Amino acid sequence: MSGITNWRSLLRRPPTGDWAVFTFSIVWCLGVLLPMAGVVLFSFVRVSAEGLDLNFTLNAYREIFLTGRWEVTARTIRIAATVTAILLLISFPFALWLAKGLRSTTWKIVIWTLLTAPFFLSDTARVVIWRPVLGLMGPINSGLMELGLIERPLTWLLFSEPAVHFGLLGPFLPNMVWPIFLSLILIDDDLIEASKDIGASPWQTLRHVILPLSMPGILAGIIFSFVPMLGDDVVAKVIGGQQVLMLGGAMLDLITALNYSVAAAMSALILAIIAALQLLIVLALRRIGKGASLVEGLRK
């Protein structure tokens, strides 16, 4: 009898599936995760085009701080953080309406599609157009001049920090909306009803029911927009021009100049910052005790 039970439980798994998963995981760890870890090692040794010199040194890190590369890192973090905050302000109300306010199925599908498609579109195609639009003779400047609001074209509309901030909003909006939306749609409508029934005002419901329950999604949204934004190399290059150098551009300059040690050190630094952010968020989630629901959200 017990033999049959074992036989059955073995069958419950798809045939040979475990073997495939095992092999693929090993290959993935060796081919993908190992190079990521390797960069941390490379940042502590001398790397040149000829190869590695395996003597421990902190030169690369010293160079980051001495040559002003630290400023590029700090600027990138500042811009990414600001844009993430703006995105959060725009996305939360929108996601809440999408998850709990909108009833029409047709519109839901339309908006979901609109929010998903950008993941598969080329960033360059969407960013390049801002150049003529925001330019000196562009429609915005000439429109404002025709209205008599300004006398001279605004020079800061293009190749400036405000332009980069603005340009980053569109491409990264779906990264923020999706996780928040997923966490909001998981909240049981009954909980919101119950909160209303016991006399909570809409704001109290938002503050004490919806906000804590959607926190995993909000934090995931912050990660999924902040992290890729750190590495953005389209917006800064195309509409930031020479004025706003960000990490993506700085990294390319380093690799082009064969300065691998410093590139490795900057990469390791960013990895450390991302890991620290991740850790903070995991700790925050543990305090709320809702860490598991994100995985469930992903599986939905």
Site of tokens 């003529």: 132
Q: Which amino acid is at 31?
A: G
Which positions from 182 through 221 interact with other proteins, judged by CB under 8 A? 201-202
Are 43 and 261 spatial neighbours (Cβ–Cβ below 8 Å)? yes
- In the complex, the smallest distance separating the C-beta of residue 268 from other proteins, rounded to whole angstroms, is 9
271 binds other proteins (CB under 8 A): yes
Interface characters, 109-148, with other proteins (x: CB under 8 A): x-xxxx-xxxxxxxxxxxxxxxxxxxx-xxx--x------
Give 90 or 191: the residue with its C-beta nearer to other proteins: 90
- In the complex, the smallest distance separating the C-beta of residue 118 from other proteins, rounded to whole angstroms, is 5
Helix 260-288 crosses helix 34-42 at what angle (to 10 degrees)?
120
Among 63, 81, 185, 231, the residue binding other proteins under the rule CB under 8 A is 231
79 binds other proteins (CB under 8 A): no
Among 83, 98, 163, 285, the residue binding other proteins under the rule CB under 8 A is 98
Q: Which stretch binds other proteins (CB under 8 A): 33-41, 62-70, 145-153, 180-188?
A: 33-41
Distances (CA, A) of 1 to 4, 9, 10, 88: 5, 13, 14, 57
- In the complex, the smallest distance separating the C-beta of residue 188 from other proteins, rounded to whole angstroms, is 20
CA dihedral 249, 253, 256, 262 (to 10 degrees): -110
Distances (CA, A) of 233 to 81, 124, 157: 16, 10, 19
- In the complex, the smallest distance separating the C-beta of residue 299 from other proteins, rounded to whole angstroms, is 5
Count residues contacting other proteins (CB under 8 A)?
Answer: 102
H-helix segments, 147-214: 161-185, 189-197, 202-205, 211-213
Angle 293-296-300 from CA coordinates, rounded to 5°: 135
15 binds other proteins (CB under 8 A): yes
Among 263, 290, 293, 297, the residue binding other proteins under the rule CB under 8 A is 263
Q: Which stretch binds other proteins (CB under 8 A): 57-65, 66-74, 178-186, 232-240?
A: 232-240
Query: Which two tokens mark 274?
Result: 């991302």
The beta strand positions in 191-261, using DSSP E, are none
Q: Which stretch binds other proteins (CB under 8 A): 58-66, 184-192, 211-219, 261-269?
A: 261-269
Max alpha carbon distance in the chain (Å)?
A: 90
Q: Which stretch binds other proteins (CB under 8 A): 108-116, 178-186, 211-219, 282-290?
A: 108-116
Angle 149-151-157 from CA coordinates, rounded to 5°: 80
- In the complex, the smallest distance separating the C-beta of residue 16 from other proteins, rounded to whole angstroms, is 7
